[in-house]
Structure 1
Amino acid sequence: MNRITAQLHTQLSRRGRSARRPAQPPPTLVAVAHGSRDPRALRTVTGLLDRVRALRPEVPVRLGHIELNEPLLTDTLAALRGDVVVVPLLLGRGHHTKRDIPATVAAAPHLRARIAGPLGPHPLLAEALHTRLAEAAARSGAPTTAPGGVVLAAAGSNDPDAAVDTARTAELLSARLGGVPVLPGHASGTGPRMSDALRALAGLGHERAAVASYFTAPGRFASQCADAAPGIAAAPLGAHPAVARLVLHRYEQALASAPLSHEAVTVGV
């Protein structure tokens, strides 16, 4: 009896210590922005991550850039320990999401990491694009009804998957606008250019098509596309609440896909 009593006391003590053990903090969300020489870009991305923190105060959030801005992703990862989920603030598949970011994460073997898919395509982006178009119409004094035609202006990429993702977002925005024609127009890479999309819409009778800015933040390509707009030009997505929710959605998707591991794995959209 004495031995059984001692064993029960030991087991209860262990359980008590286990119950008092503090909960592990959630993995750090490392948001990856492209970077830009435009000073507005860093301010915009910082504002977006402030919204993310407000939605989930318990989740540590850090920022890293691929190029042009500090902190660079390499430096952000070097300063972290433990579990991280890398969330690209990029809008489709391409060289950065398929190669650059995975290579940078793989060069940080001290971390247990997963890489989320890019933000787009997703209906939440169509929601944010719709809002930005409405804001641009209000500033210009244009009617608040849906525009006659829209060019979805995107950076573009040499990876054909990027054009596929942008085209899907154009479909989502068209549906959001009640069937208004929305055509993708790229500033670079493969796929139709802005001029191609504008000519196609003009052929449909939409001479002054609106431009929806499919960019996370201001920058050179966003400015070029806005300058080419024959009608209203919307602002980039920026710190829209729907984008902040989408960042957390990609984070949660990555966590639910599989346990964190030393080998970085990219989670599909």
Structure 2
Amino acid sequence: MQPTLVAVAHGSRDPRALHTVRALLDRVRELRPVLDVRLGHIELNRPLLGDTLQEVSGAAVLVPLLLGRGHHVKRDLPASAARAAHLRIRVAAPLGPHPLLVEALYDRLVEAGWAPGTAVVLAAAGSRDPDSAADTRRSAELLSERLGGVPVVPAYASATAPTVPDAVRALAARGHHRVAVASYFTAPGRFAAQCAAAAPGPAAAPLGAHPGLARLVLLRYDHAAAAAREALVPSCRPAGQRAGQPVPAGA
């Protein structure tokens, strides 16, 4: 049996967020109809992750609908997995950075009216975790490449600097007076709206149910599920055999 895919959203008081996440998971189910796909939230929305895990049996892969290696991915999700002692759980990598994510960002910018040569602020939630900031910077670098080399500056709604207005001013000081804002959020919410409101030009919508994002959710799931299977193989290997080596026939 395949492990259940449990998509983990942050949660938001914005009613559009839950609708958006459900639409994304509908796309995931269309791509993989035989896979059991569930939803759990870290906070603010139901179902909460702990409640979802209580309804799952056997094995599960938690796929964070989050874009970097922040506190939720490093602490909250492993803690939730540890509390679900009846399950074998693997936590997948966050969605970012990845080329599929960059394609979704590109499409949302074009939909919003981005024109070639326009600099971009990549607006993210923000985290004090340096790995999360590194992931956002890497996504900004990949997006800059996808946009033909125009500057893409990361900015944040909370926890760290620069803010979106500060990033816009910094670009203007470098001679870039046409600036668009890319939304580094999976769903609508307070931070996404705050960043969009600070845009001096086009403001892209959150990534939402973009087809590339659905494919990326499944890719993260597949990698984590494969790692979980690999972790079970050593008990079947002859002594001294390394991970990755095939098990001889009859062993």
CA, structure 1 residues 147+68, in 2 after alignment: closer, same or farther (shift >3 Å)? farther
Counterpart secondary structure, 1:63: strand
What is aligned with 1:69? 45
Counterpart secondary structure, 2:95: coil
Structure 1 residue 175: Cα displacement: 0.5
- Residue 21 of structure 2 aligns with an amino acid whose one-letter code is V
- Residue 177 of structure 2 aligns with an amino acid whose one-letter code is E
CA, structure 1 residues 118+164, in 2 after alignment: closer, same or farther (shift >3 Å)? same
Question: After the TM superposition, which of the residue ranges 199-208 and 44-53 deviates more from structure 2?
Answer: 199-208
Contact 1:207/1:230, CA 8 A, preserved across alignment: no
Counterpart secondary structure, 1:258: helix
Counterpart secondary structure, 1:212: strand
- Measure, in 2, the Cα distance between the counterparts of 1:146 and 1:122: 22
Counterpart secondary structure, 1:259: helix
Question: Which aligned runs of 4 or more in structure 1 are off by greater than 4 angstroms?
Answer: none
**Deviation sequence 1:214-235 (CA, Å, 0-9, x none):** 0000000000000000001000
Contact 1:147/1:210, CA 8 A, preserved across alignment: no
Is 1:257 the counterpart of 2:233? The answer is no
Structure 1 residue 134: Cα displacement: 0.6
- Measure, in 1, the Cα distance between the counterparts of 2:223 and 2:85: 22
1:84 to 32, 44, 60: 60
Counterpart secondary structure, 2:136: helix
- Residue 146 of structure 1 aligns with an amino acid whose one-letter code is P
Structure 1 residue 190: Cα displacement: 2.2
Structure 1 residue 38: Cα displacement: 0.2
1:121 to 94, 97, 102: 97
CA, structure 1 residues 261+100, in 2 after alignment: closer, same or farther (shift >3 Å)? farther
**Deviation sequence 1:74-129 (CA, Å, 0-9, x none):** 00001111011100000001110000111011100100110001000001111000
Counterpart secondary structure, 2:229: coil
- Measure, in 1, the Cα distance between the counterparts of 2:84 and 2:156: 34
What is aligned with 1:19? none
Counterpart secondary structure, 2:27: helix
What is aligned with 2:69? 93
What is aligned with 2:198? 228
Structure 1 residue 247: Cα displacement: 0.2
- Residue 169 of structure 1 aligns with an amino acid whose one-letter code is S
What is aligned with 1:213? 183
Contact 1:114/1:260, CA 8 A, preserved across alignment: no
- Residue 69 of structure 2 aligns with an amino acid whose one-letter code is R
Structure 1 residue 147: Cα displacement: 4.3
Structure 1 residue 260: Cα displacement: 8.1
What is aligned with 1:53? 29
Structure 1 residue 62: Cα displacement: 0.0
Structure 1 residue 130: Cα displacement: 0.4
- Measure, in 2, the Cα distance between the counterparts of 1:179 and 1:261: 41
Counterpart secondary structure, 2:89: strand
Equivalent residue pairs, number: 232
- Measure, in 2, the Cα distance between the counterparts of 1:146 and 1:255: 40
- Residue 226 of structure 1 aligns with an amino acid whose one-letter code is A
CA RMSD of superposed structures (Å): 1.4
- Residue 31 of structure 1 aligns with an amino acid whose one-letter code is A
Among the aligned pairs, what percent are the same residue?
A: 69
Contact 1:151/1:211, CA 8 A, preserved across alignment: yes
- Measure, in 2, the Cα distance between the counterparts of 1:99 and 1:51: 28
- Measure, in 2, the Cα distance between the counterparts of 1:130 and 1:113: 33
Counterpart secondary structure, 1:64: strand
1:23-62 superposed matches below 5 A? 25-62=1-38
Could you tell me the TM-score, scaled by structure 1's length? 0.84
Structure 1 residue 193: Cα displacement: 1.9
What is aligned with 1:5? none
The structure number with the bigger radius of gyration is: 1
